[in-house]
């Protein structure tokens, strides 16, 4: 009897892989079904898939109130990608809010509000916020910054504060060059907005660009006055899925200065 069993086992020694292969094919089939159903973003198909997998693999699939969710609290479908095509409309809404607040405060001409491709720029001339060759904020600029802070509370976007100067060389003990002055001014605005007016510090960064990001010609007094400025740049948030983080160093040369120097 023993000899008969051994003889039968030796007749097909190469068929032992069939069971493992069948398991692999079944798993691959389940995997591709999941890919297809989730890519189609159809809740009904996901429900059918859930029931099919539960039956095939004897694994219960949790059903939520939404009729089958991928994650707890989810909708059962992949969120739509935040398309950049919607970006100008969103920024325009933000721009209107900020423009409205500056008008309410009687600050038209003191704050220039401009809209770029993926950002809103609030331009503050240096003679509004700072004294000459100084990074100390002038008392009369406090209401301006308070208004800006109120506008920033409307949205949760990231904010980049940028200090700029003209090309006139600066060499003082406190500020050896325009680099130090522009950086100190950006930091002063940042600290005022976050420490005095409640803007979330996690959203804000400060940068100094010296004379190297002009928006007007430095050959005229008016142009140099326009270049001496502090820009508060409100960045469009990156999309949660497949989004592109805005480049805060993107040149702004195509924008025109809209404020009073």
The yes-or-no verdict on residue 224 having pLDDT over 50 is yes
Q: For the ranges 4-18, 93-107, 235-249, which has the lowest average pLDDT?
A: 235-249
Whether residue 12 has pLDDT greater than 50:
yes
Query: What is d(CA 31, CA 245) in angstroms, rounded to the nearest whole number?
Result: 32
Degrees, nearest 5: CA angle 255-258-261: 120
Torsion region of 137: left, alpha or beta (phi above 0 gives left; psi -120 to 50 gives alpha)? beta
Of 225 and 49, which is predicted with more confidence? Answer: 225
Residue range 45-99, pLDDT digits in tens? 445 544 544 444 344 444 444 443 333 334 443 334 344 444 444 567 766 777 7
pLDDT of residue 239 exceeding 80: no
Give me the residues paired with residue 162 across strands: 207, 231
Give the mean pLDDT of the chain. Answer: 72
Q: Which CATH class is domain 84-235?
A: alpha beta
Cβ–Cβ < 8 Å for 219, 74? no
∠ CA 98-138-157, rounded to 5°: 30
Pairing state between β 119-125 and 111-115: antiparallel
For residue range 154-194, list pLDDT tens digits in order: 778 899 999 999 999 999 999 999 999 999 999 999 999 99
Task: Give SS3 for 30.
Answer: helix
Domain regions of the chain by residue span: 2-57, 84-235
Predicted local distance difference test score (pLDDT) of residue 78: 34
Q: Is 44 a residue whose pLDDT tops 60? A: no
Place of tokens 């090309």: 167
When pLDDT is cut at 50, 70 and 90, the band that residue 119 belongs to is confident
């Amino acid at each position: 009897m023993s000899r008969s069993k051994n003889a039968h086992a030796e007749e097909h020694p190469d068929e032992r892989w069939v069971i493992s292969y069948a398991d692999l094919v079944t798993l691959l089939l389940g995997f591709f079904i999941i890919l297809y159903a989730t890519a189609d973003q159809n809740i009904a198909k996901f429900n059918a898939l859930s029931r099919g997998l539960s039956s095939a693999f004897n694994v219960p699939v949790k059903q939520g109130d939404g009729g089958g969710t991928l994650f707890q609290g989810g909708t059962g479908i992949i969120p739509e990608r935040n398309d950049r095509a919607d970006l100008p409309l969103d920024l325009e809404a933000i721009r209107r809010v900020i423009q409205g607040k500056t008008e309410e405060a009687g600050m038209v001409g003191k704050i220039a509000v401009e809209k770029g491709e993926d950002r809103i720029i609030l331009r503050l001339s240096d003679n509004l916020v700072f004294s000459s060759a100084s990074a100390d904020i002038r008392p009369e600029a406090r209401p301006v910054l308070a208004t800006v802070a109120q506008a920033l509370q409307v949205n949760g976007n990231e904010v980049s504060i940028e200090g700029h100067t003209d090309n006139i060389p600066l060499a003082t003990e406190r500020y050896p060059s325009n680099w130090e002055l522009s950086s100190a001014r950006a930091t002063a605005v940042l600290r005022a907005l976050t420490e005095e007016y409640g803007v979330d510090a996690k959203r804000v960064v400060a940068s100094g660009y010296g004379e190297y990001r002009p928006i007007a010609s430095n050959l005229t007094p008016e142009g140099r006055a326009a270049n001496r400025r502090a820009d508060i740049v409100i960045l469009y948030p990156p999309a949660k899925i497949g989004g592109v983080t805005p480049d805060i160093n993107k040149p702004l040369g195509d924008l025109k200065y809209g404020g009073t120097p």
